[in-house]
Amino acid sequence: MLDNARKICHLLPEAVEHIDGFGHTSFRIHGKSFVKLTERSGLSFKSDRETQVFLLQKEKFFKTPYIGHHGWVSIQNPHDGDWEELTELIQEAYLRAAPKRLVKEWIELQKK
């Protein structure tokens, strides 16, 4: 799971990997987390309320403990087929946390 998340996140402009004192890995942009990986929650990502409501209707997603009320969604043990959808969700999470300059840069990269 960590390797797949790294492959996705390291392609995002200025995204950095951070490991906290508990050994949890997060991916951040300018100090703002957009993806977290923990044993308890699996892979968690920042979403908006509409996306969160939609995803929580699917059996494999659940509200992230402690931060779910801020729109965070988690998936435990994603399967190979889940990574296409997760790539899009992680990219959206990045765009929610990134400064406008980087959002614009990302949009330009996607046009090429």
pLDDT over 80 (residue 19): yes
Please tell me the distance from the alpha carbon of residue 109 to that of residue 96, in angstroms, as a whole number: 17
Q: Please, what is the Cα angle at 81 between 59 and 58, to 5 degrees? A: 15
Please tell me the distance from the alpha carbon of residue 45 to that of residue 63, in angstroms, as a whole number: 10
Average pLDDT over residues 3-30: 94
User: Residue 52 is which amino acid?
Assistant: Q
At 80 the pLDDT is 75
Structure tokens at 6: 């790294």
Residue 93 CA neighbour count, 13 Å, CB half: 30
pLDDT over 90 (residue 112): no
At 51 the pLDDT is 95
Q: What is the pLDDT of residues 32-91, one digit of tens each?
A: 999 999 988 899 999 999 999 999 999 999 999 999 999 999 998 888 778 999 999 999
Cβ atoms of 100 and 93 within 8 Å: the answer is no
pTM for the model stands at 0.92
Who's near 29: CB < 8 A, 6+ residues apart? Answer: 12, 14, 15, 16, 94, 97, 98, 99, 102
Secondary structure E strands in the chain: 16-19, 25-29, 32-38, 42-45, 61-63, 73-75
Where along the chain do its domains lie? 2-107
Average pLDDT over residues 11-26: 93
Q: Which CATH number fits domain 2-107: 3.90.1150.30, 1.10.1740.10, 3.30.470.10, 3.40.640.10?
A: 3.90.1150.30
